[in-house]
Amino acid sequence: MSVEKTRICVLVSGGGTNLQALLDAQKAGRITSGKIVLVGSNNPEAYALTRAAEHGVDSFVFTEEAALLDKLAEEEIDMIVLAGFLKILSPNVIRAYEGRIINIHPALIPSFCGKGCYGLHVHEKALEYGVKVTGATVHFVNEIPDGGQIIAQKAVDVLPEDTPETLQKRVMEQAEWILLPEATEAVAAEIRKGKN
| Interaction of residue 14 with ligand GRF, rule CB under 6 A | yes
- Residue 187 CB coordination number (10 Å): 24
- Residue 174 CB coordination number (10 Å): 16
For ligand GRF (CB under 6 A), the number of binding residues is 16
C-beta closer to ligand GRF: residue 151 or 192? 151
- Report the greatest alpha carbon distance in the chain: 56
| Interaction of residue 145 with ligand GRF, rule CB under 6 A | no
| Interaction of residue 119 with ligand GRF, rule CB under 6 A | yes
C-beta closer to ligand GRF: residue 1 or 28? 28
| Interaction of residue 18 with ligand GRF, rule CB under 6 A | yes
Report the relative pairing of strands 133-140 and 58-61 from DSSP bridges.
unpaired
Of 105, 121, 123, 139, the catalytic one is 105
| Interaction of residue 146 with ligand GRF, rule CB under 6 A | no
Query: Is there a contact between 26 and 182 (Cβ–Cβ < 8 Å)?
Result: no
| Interaction of residue 84 with ligand GRF, rule CB under 6 A | yes
- Distance separating alpha carbons of residues 113 and 50, to the nearest angstrom: 29
- Residue 11 CB coordination number (10 Å): 26
Strand partners for 31? none
C-beta closer to ligand GRF: residue 68 or 179? 179
Subset of 24-53 contacting ligand GRF (CB under 6 A): 48
| Interaction of residue 176 with ligand GRF, rule CB under 6 A | yes
137, HSE (Cβ side, Cα atoms, 13 Å):
20
Q: Which listed residue (9, 10, 80, 106) binds ligand GRF by CB under 6 A? A: 106
Residue 105 annotated in active site? yes
- Distance separating alpha carbons of residues 126 and 193, to the nearest angstrom: 39
Contact residues for ligand GRF, defined by CB under 6 A: 12, 14-19, 48, 83-84, 104, 106, 119, 168, 172, 176
Q: Which residues are catalytic?
A: 105
